[in-house]
């Protein structure tokens, strides 16, 4: 649709803008932190100055984290993709995620039998799941449930034609559904935009979903968010099936298409 196309173009422009700034800013930050480190080493005897330098360093570290997320949004983050089993990937984060969610939120993970492998930066993917879990937690202050489901899925040409930025093919779908307060249409429309947040100052930076969006796109995948007020939120991550070398002990059927890459 035209609205979706306009939105995609807006995100593209925003990405280019923030990416350029974040990249330059990051280089400048490295000059700052490099010199602060030097000072930290030299100021051992002087507690007062030492504290001032430590404070400056803590600020610089927060700024570095922010630029990291902006680089992720603008798809300029260096990635280290590796072949991974999505079941395993989700499985190994459940402990961290349940700790993040707290005692009042139930976490259920549903794995896919014979899940296709994916090619992904595992560390960043865990970061993505953590960010989405934090959003789910914030949407369920009185408790609730987060379900994470892994499934193999096929996007056909018909479906792809309706959506702006999905190409047909085989994907692993990682779907996160919460029973939280959900979003109204206006919030949903803007949720992925960088710096858009409905949270209090200091609680949210509005970069969580932007970072997720950029990372998923950079990984060749797609992100879809569905939500209604009072109905909870569903975030769907489509990650392209990897057709790389299949190990002998892998029970996967050989792909019918020409292997990519
Ligand atoms: P932040 O979490 O820092 O606000 P995000 O980009 O992750 O930044 O999210 C932007 C906004 O989208 C949130 O402030 C919130 O209004 C909305 N949102 C994101 N995830 C959810 C969710 N699971 N349930 C309800 N609202 C959400």
Q: Which residues line ligand 1 (CB under 6 A)?
A: 135-136, 139, 178, 180-183, 187, 191, 196-199, 204-210, 233
Phi-psi region of 144 (alpha: psi -120 to 50; beta: other; left: phi over 0): left
- Top mutation candidate among 209, 226, 235 for ligand 1, by most atoms within 8 Å of CB: 209
Separation of CA 249 and ligand 1 centre (Å):
41
Query: What per-residue confidence (pLDDT) applies to 39?
Result: 92
Q: Who contacts 11 (Cβ-Cβ below 8 Å, separation ≥6)?
A: 192, 193, 213
Residue nearest (by alpha carbon) to ligand 1 atom 2: 204
Tens of pLDDT along 1-32?
787 778 888 888 999 999 999 999 999 999 99
Ligand 1 atom closest to the CA of 176, numbered from 1:
23
How far are the Cα atoms of 36, 100, 190 from residue 187, in angstroms, in the given order? 40, 24, 5
Query: What per-residue confidence (pLDDT) applies to 260?
Result: 42
Phi first, then psi: give them for residue 63, nearest 5 degrees: -65, -35
Q: What angle do CA 202, 206, 121 make, to 5 degrees?
A: 115
Helix (H) or strand (E) holding 174: strand 169-178
- Whether the complex's predicted ipTM is more than 0.95 is answered with yes
Q: Who contacts 196 (Cβ-Cβ below 8 Å, separation ≥6)?
A: 190, 206
Q: Rounded to an integer, what distance in angstroms lies between the CA atom of residue 56 and that of residue 42?
A: 15
Residues composing the chain = 261
Q: Rounded to an integer, what distance in angstroms lies between the CA atom of residue 176 and that of residue 179?
A: 10
Q: What is the pTM of this model?
A: 0.88
CB atoms within 10 A of CB 218: 18
Separation of CA 135 and ligand 1 centre (Å):
5
Q: Rounded to an integer, what distance in angstroms lies between the CA atom of residue 195 and that of residue 188?
A: 14
Tens of pLDDT along 189-245?
999 999 999 999 888 889 999 999 999 999 999 999 999 999 999 999 999 999 976
Q: Rounded to an integer, what distance in angstroms lies between the CA atom of residue 123 and that of residue 81?
A: 9
Q: Rounded to an integer, what distance in angstroms lies between the CA atom of residue 7 and that of residue 17?
A: 15
Q: Rounded to an integer, what distance in angstroms lies between the CA atom of residue 120 and that of residue 258?
A: 20
């Amino acid at each position: 649709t035209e609205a979706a196309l306009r939105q995609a173009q807006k995100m593209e422009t925003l990405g280019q803008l923030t990416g350029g700034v974040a990249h330059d800013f990051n280089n400048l930050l490295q000059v700052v932190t490099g010199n602060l480190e030097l000072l930290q080493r030299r100021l051992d005897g002087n507690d007062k100055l030492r504290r001032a330098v430590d404070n400056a360093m803590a600020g610089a570290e927060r700024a570095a984290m922010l630029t990291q997320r902006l680089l992720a949004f603008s798809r300029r983050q260096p990635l280290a993709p590796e072949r991974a089993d999505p079941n395993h990937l989700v499985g190994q984060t459940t402990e961290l995620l349940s700790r993040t969610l707290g005692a009042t939120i139930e976490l259920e993970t549903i794995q896919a039998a014979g899940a296709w492998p994916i090619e992904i930066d595992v560390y960043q993917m865990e970061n993505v799941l953590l960010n989405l879990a934090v959003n789910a937690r914030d949407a369920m202050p009185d408790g609730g449930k987060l379900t994470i489901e892994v499934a193999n899925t096929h996007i056909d040409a018909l479906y792809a034609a309706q959506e702006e930025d999905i190409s047909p093919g085989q994907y692993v779908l990682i779907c996160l559904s919460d029973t939280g307060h959900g979003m109204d249409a206006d919030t949903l429309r803007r949720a992925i935009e960088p710096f858009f947040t409905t949270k209090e100052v200091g609680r949210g930076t509005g970069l969580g979903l932007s970072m997720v969006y950029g990372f998923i796109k950079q990984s060749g995948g797609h992100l879809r968010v569905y939500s209604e007020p009072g109905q909870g939120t569903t975030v769907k991550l489509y990650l392209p099936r990897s057709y790389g070398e299949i190990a002998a002990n892998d029970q996967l059927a050989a792909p019918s298409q020409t292997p990519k890459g």
